[in-house]
Amino acid sequence: MARRKGISVRQRRVSAELRSLREARKLSCKDVARALDCSESKISRMETGERGLYVDDVAAILGFLRAPATIRQELLALVRDGEERNWHELHGKLPTTWTNLIRIERDAAAILNYEPMFFPGLAQTPDYARHLIHGTDPALSEPEVDTLVSARLSRQAIIGRRDAPQVHLIVDETVLRRPVVTPEIMRAQLHHLLALSERRTITVQVVPFTSAAHPGLRGPFVLLEFASEPTLAHVESRNSSSFLEEDEHIDSVRLAWRRLRTIALSPEDSARLIASAAGELTSDKEHGP
């Protein structure tokens, strides 16, 4: 197995943001290189992670692109800590950690996501996301809920791209049955997941209730695989999240994924179970009091 190489996840985050800021200004790498009196290949390699990042270079690019002060401070801090492996963040109500995940996962060739309690963010409908966010943190104001819903749904743009990554979602059967939203919203969510499973780039599996103890009981995770960079793992709890890079961590998460993929129902049987769960909600509504 190839051992860890390449730039750290912090540097990947900076590289992705440099590219995003440039594209937002509708500038080419050549435009930036000309303004900073350097080669076009240098700018391109900084954006793709093929070149190490230095504070002076990044500061010059951010200045030319007129990046807001808060973004400049955040990215320069990441460059200074760029050689550190693994990235642990404490986060509050607003989705800074989701922004980091969105920026990093958009370059992924494959996204492998296990969820034991809720539908994966990449597969949530707007109504489901809103009810879930509000229900799990009732102290949030409506504007804060709106912001979090928008951030969560913005992740889904990646699965609609022409060059969409391969996405493999595994959920516990509990996800299909837990009544965290109204029956109408739940039914729509189940149909949405079923529709996603029919896409060429998306695989959906369900771990049935009948499964014995397994690694997924320890919590949700995302594995991000890249064409030319090492795999990352992203894990999240209520008040923090972490990007894991070290080989021992990645090997452990990958082993858990392989086990879950083995014990889960086949994609075909999973689709039938999802359809059955949606049908039961329809039947309950039709035969209710």
Containing 55, the helix (H) or strand (E) segment is: helix 55-64
Q: Residues for the chain: how many in total?
A: 289
- For residue 49, the one-letter residue type is G
Distance CA 137, CA 150 (A): 16
- Give me the pLDDT at residue 97, please: 53
Containing 221, the helix (H) or strand (E) segment is: strand 221-225
pLDDT in tens, the chain (289 residues): 344 455 677 788 888 889 989 998 899 999 999 988 889 999 998 888 777 788 888 888 988 998 888 888 888 888 886 555 554 454 555 555 566 777 788 889 999 999 999 999 999 999 999 999 888 888 888 888 888 888 888 889 899 889 999 999 999 999 999 989 999 999 999 999 999 999 999 999 999 999 999 999 889 999 999 987 889 899 886 666 788 888 899 999 999 999 999 999 999 999 999 999 999 987 555 544 4
What is the separation of C-alpha 97 from the centre of its chain, rounded to a whole number of angstroms? 10
CB atoms within 10 A of CB 141: 9
- Give me the pLDDT at residue 30, please: 93
In the three-class reduction of DSSP (H, G, I as helix; E, B as strand; rest coil), residue 178 is classed as coil
- Give me the pLDDT at residue 284, please: 55
Distance CA 217, CA 44 (A): 42
What contacts 30, CB < 8 A, 6 or more positions away? 40
What contacts 156, CB < 8 A, 6 or more positions away? 121, 122, 123, 124
Do the Cβ atoms of 175 and 115 come closer than 8 Å?
A: yes
Distance CA 204, CA 215 (A): 18
- Give me the pLDDT at residue 4, please: 46
**Where do we find the tokens 């972490």?**
242
- Across the chain, the runs of DSSP E, i.e. the strands, are 87-90, 110-115, 166-172, 202-207, 221-225, 232-236, 240-244
CB atoms within 10 A of CB 155: 20
Q: Comparing C-alpha atoms, which of 127, 59, 133, 62 is closest to residue 98?
A: 133
Do the Cβ atoms of 250 and 244 come closer than 8 Å?
A: yes
- Give me the pLDDT at residue 1, please: 36
Query: In the chain, how long is the greatest CA-to-CA distance?
Result: 74
pTM here?
A: 0.72
- For residue 281, the one-letter residue type is L
Q: In Å, how far are 6, 186, 286 from 279, measured between CA atoms?
A: 48, 11, 11
Strand pairing partners for 207? 172
Tokens (6 digits) for 62:
């951010």
Containing 280, the helix (H) or strand (E) segment is: helix 267-286
Domains of the chain, start order: 9-80 (1.10.260.40), 87-286 (3.30.870)
Is the sign of the CA dihedral 177, 181, 183, 189 positive or negative?
negative
